[in-house]
Structure 1
Amino acid sequence: MAKLKVPSAQHLARNWQETPAKVQRELVSLARNPPTFSYQILFGFVRDMLLLGVPKEQIEFAIRTKVKRETVRGYYLELLPLIAEHFLDESPKYVMSVDRRYYAAGRGLMVPFDPPIIYGGTSGLIFPWFSFWKSNPLSGDRLSLFVTMVKEILAEDPDLEAADFQILDFSAPKGSGERQLEIIHASDVPLLSDARKTEMLEIFAEGYFAAAEELRTTPDEIVEQDAPGDPDQQGLFD
């Protein structure tokens, strides 16, 4: 039986739909056809770059020799040059992990939030959030929902509240096919009003619990997968 996991804050925002029924259909489909790998390993490479000064060439060698699946290896190698270029001139005073936090998304749904790293740069504390989707990155109300949620989480911690929250968007512009890095400063993203935020979260929560009930009470559908999954779905609930 397919089981529905609680989505991360980012994936809640990306899988938000206009109605609970649409949320339900989206989550049931994802639960029955789950992603087959995640980009989590790349966060370790970023830490190695920042903390230990490991060069891009060494990381590329590690990917080519240790990542067995060709398609997954290709996804990592596609992203590595953009990551390395972004952090090339960074000389952080320190690099830290951040403990998991939770966000109350309504109806008892507690959404996990796991910042990959924070680091002390020349301009102060920097909190980079990595968005590795190649297509359909967060935008509009979905982006505003994510940023609103994260800012509320950060505001609960005096050590993080003043951090420069940056979204590193590694998507490919429509029609180009090639990834580019766009740095979105959260301070430039419009926040949702309390009413709109509550409305969106209630829609998602209702759809989530309906999806969980559907999966609990109906047989699994057999889904054939000849490929390692859509790279835009990877690590959905990491």
Structure 2
Amino acid sequence: MADLRVPSVQHLARNWNQQPTAIARALVQLARNPPHFNYNPLYAAVQDMLVLGVPYDEVEKGIRRIKRENVRQNLLSVLPLIRNHFSDVSPDFYQTVGKRYYPVGRGLMVPFEPPLIYGVGGQLYFPWFSFWRTNPLAKERLALFVTLVDEILMQDPDLETARFEILDFSCPGPKQERTLRVVDARDIIRLDDRRKVEMLECFAEGYFQAVAELRGAPASPRPEERPDSRSPDPDQPGLFD
């Protein structure tokens, strides 16, 4: 059986859909065709430049040692944007944050692991890095993500005053280069509790439908779902695209 990992809070939001069957399809596809790279070298690059003061040229050389060309070029398309954003930042402190879990429903606990926090002049900053090239979080999916993160931060006295920013490194249009768009989470309207619960219940239903399908068991759709709801959704992004 293909392995279905529990998605993170960010991936939950990005793969949310009005129909649980569409969520299930996306998760099954991911389990059967998992990604073969990650952006961890960029998090290490942030720490090297921001904390250790490693020159940019040295950090770039490290990325260029990555053998797979498509992965190497993808990371190099982001690295200068990271350098420019943090070039004038001199943190008083920098630290990583331990993993937390958010209860979605039906026993499903979704992990949340902030990459880092840092402080400048008494202000705590919590940057969230969104490295998707296309289809970044937007509209209700973005509101869901920010709402959940807000709740998690408010449960931690050390993080509740942090300035939450989303660093969006996506391309503004087809065949265009990546840019950096900094989104202040304070500008995002939060979901009310009723809508949040509805969306989480929908995701949990889709997740367990995916688990059942991968185990070879039938997964029954909700009665209110129409038969044609199983048709592909062109706006539904992959988990790590």
Q: Compute the TM-score of the two structures, normalised by the length of structure 1.
A: 0.90
More helix by share: 1
One-letter identity of the residue aligned with 2:84: E
Aligned length: 222
CA contact (8 A) 2:168 2:182 kept: yes
**Residue 123 (structure 1) shift:** 5.8
Unpaired segments ≥5 residues, structure 1: 219-231
Structure 1 partner of 2:178: 179
Q: Which runs of 4+ in 1 moved over 4 A?
A: 232-236
The CA deviation string for residues 110-158 of structure 1, in whole angstroms up to 9 with x for no partner, is: 0000000000123610000000001000000000000000000000001
Measured on the aligned residues, the alpha-carbon RMSD in Å equals: 1.4
CA contact (8 A) 1:25 1:211 kept: yes
CA change 1:234–1:191 in 2 (3 A) is: closer
**Residue 177 (structure 1) shift:** 1.4
Structure 2 partner of 1:165: 164
Structure 2 partner of 1:99: 98
Structure 2 partner of 1:223: none
Within 5 Å, give how 1:103-182 maps onto structure 2.
Answer: 103-122=102-121, 124-175=123-174, 177-182=176-181
**Residue 234 (structure 1) shift:** 7.6
Within 5 Å, give how 1:61-72 maps onto structure 2.
Answer: 61-65=61-65, 67-72=66-71
Bigger relative contact order, structure 1 or 2 (CA pairs below 8 A, ≥6 apart)? 1
CA contact (8 A) 2:41 2:63 kept: no
**Residue 175 (structure 1) shift:** 3.5
One-letter identity of the residue aligned with 2:182: I
CA contact (8 A) 2:134 2:171 kept: yes
Structure 1 partner of 2:224: none
Within 5 Å, give how 1:1-238 maps onto structure 2.
Answer: 1-65=1-65, 67-122=66-121, 124-175=123-174, 177-217=176-216
**Residue 55 (structure 1) shift:** 1.8
Unpaired segments ≥5 residues, structure 2: 218-236
**Residue 235 (structure 1) shift:** 5.4
**Residue 179 (structure 1) shift:** 0.6
Q: Compute the TM-score of the two structures, normalised by the length of structure 2.
A: 0.89
